Amino acid sequence: VGLEVELPKSAPSSDDTARMPVLETPQGCVFSSVAIARYVARMSRLSALYGSSLIEGGLVDSWVEFSTLELEAPLSNWALPGMPDEAVACAKEDVKKALAVLDKHLLHTTYMVGHCITLADISIFCALLDGMQKHFDDALRKQYCNVTRWFGLCCQQPEFVAVVGDVKLAAGKPGAAPKAEGKKAEAKAEPKKDAKGKEAKPKAEPKAEAKAKAKAAPAPAATGGPVD
């Protein structure tokens, strides 16, 4: 959009992570990430990041607000460590409701607003990125196939790849312990060894051993003479 951004030369300290971002311009400073994004999107109408008409600009604003209130807030509670179980469960339900709204909207549209990428797509993509990578497993994504299709389309855009790289989606439920059936089978199949380290031969059952001895013993010889 024709904006040159100069990053601070000093490395950010731990105290800077919670501070609000500020964009310094010759005309003054713009602070907060949403305000900065809107400022940059409006700089060039050729990019159409704010839509190609007044109504599309209003729709972009609507979806940016939706992203902040309906996605970022509950997703933060979902992913934040140490949150109570009730709060996490409530956050998950709120996220699912927001995903249902997005999925219904994207049923007949390729992008959030208009026929190209806008700030609405960028805002919602950034809000969903962490969830798609860590928390939304295959089963959850299948429930919102339109959102998944749209997210994959954004991931293929060169501008997105240049910033976020190759996005790996969550494969399964986070924290699921791997099955130990293979190890149990190996433990059962491993032969027992005696004190000297040699493989111990299995003992025959008493009944089977007695039958084997009875068959091997010779029959007693007859003592009587022929019978008339």
Cβ burial, residue 51 (10 Å; 0-12/13-18/19+): buried
142, part of any domain: yes
Residue 93 lies in a domain: yes
Are the beta carbons of 50 and 42 closer than 8 angstroms?
yes
Look at residue 224 in the predicted model and tell me its pLDDT.
Answer: 45
Full domain range(s) for residue 106? 59-164
Q: Do the domain assignments include residue 221?
A: no
Query: What is the three-class DSSP state of 30?
Result: strand
- List the chain residues with pLDDT less than 50: 1, 174-190, 210, 212, 214, 217, 219-228
- The answer to whether residue 24 is domain-embedded is no
Count of structural domains within the chain: 1
Domain containing residue 83: CATH number: 1.20.1050.10
Convert the pLDDT of each residue in 162-219 to its tens digit: 999 999 998 865 433 334 444 444 444 445 555 555 555 555 555 555 454 545 545 4
Residue 16 counted as domain residue: no
Domain contains 69: yes
Residue 156 lies in a domain: yes
Is residue 99 one of the residues assigned to a domain?
yes
For residue 130, the model assigns a pLDDT of: 93
Q: What whole-number distance in Å separates Cα of residue 88 and Cα of residue 120?
A: 26
Angle between helices 85-105 and 145-155 (to 10 degrees): 80
Which token pair is 141?
């994504």
